[in-house]
Amino acid sequence: MMTHAYREIYLSKAQSALGDAFDYAVNTCHIPGDTFVKLFSVSSIGKRMEEGDPSVLAGKSGIEIAGEVLIETTGEAPAEEPQERFGCSVEYWIGWAVAYYQWFSSRKYSDIFKALSFEDLQNMYYPLHEADITKFVDVAEERIREIFADTNLKRIRTAYGCTQAELADLSGVSLRSIQMYEQRRKDINKASTESVYRIAKVLGCSIEDLLEK
């Protein structure tokens, strides 16, 4: 079963907030989309969204998120007043869809935007914006697999023939940790020796086999 980034009750708010943040940054502040992607990806508020911080997910508007990103990364607050908009802009959809995929996959925003550039996302708008969000997830997952090869842990576990849940049960290492190691959200090279040893023992391999070069 997929473990999501945070509780689903915050998802809709996160999607609308990130959609508003992208719309405001690009269309009102006239910041190039690829530039705002980079600023958001390295910002602390982006990381707090990834981690499911309720004070951001439920407590900040998209305008506030964009403003905090710009203050933190450029040292300057945006001066432009938010404009009332009717309908869903391409930029709003990009933020909305990416927020959903981040929640769904628990991946870092920086990894998502490495696989899907702002231009890629713009090109996805017309074929996908009226489709079910699962279509976007399918495309994003395919791009992620193209960019990020499987970890040694996933490759060996798959070859061994056990699920993540079975490995967690047999090794005593939490399912969440195993998922995060395989998604590269946690670095298995920095895991405790005991945890890696337990996983290796179940999979019949050495600790070194599981470490990433």
Token pair for 206 = 């050495």
pTM beyond 0.85, yes or no:
no
Task: Give the tens place of pLDDT for each residue, 50-75.
Answer: 989 999 998 999 999 999 999 999 99
Task: Give the tens place of pLDDT for each residue, 141-176.
Answer: 889 888 888 899 998 999 999 999 999 999 999 999
Query: What is the rounded CA–CA span in Å between residue 65 and residue 56?
Result: 8
pLDDT for 31:
96
Q: Give the DSSP H or E segment for 45.
A: helix 44-50
CB neighbour class for 120 (10 Å; exposed up to 12, middle 13-18, buried from 19): middle
> How confident is the model over 197-210, as a mean pLDDT?
94
28: amino acid identity, one letter: T
Q: Lowest-pLDDT range, 9-13, 98-102, 208-212?
A: 208-212
Question: Domains (ranges, CATH) in the chain?
Answer: 8-147 (no CATH), 152-210 (1.10.260.40)
DSSP string of 64-114, one letter each residue? HHHHHHHHHHHS----PPPPP--S--HHHHHHHHHHHHHHHH---HHHHHH
Q: How confident is the model at residue 2 (pLDDT cuts 50, 70, 90)?
A: low
Tell me the residue length of the chain: 213
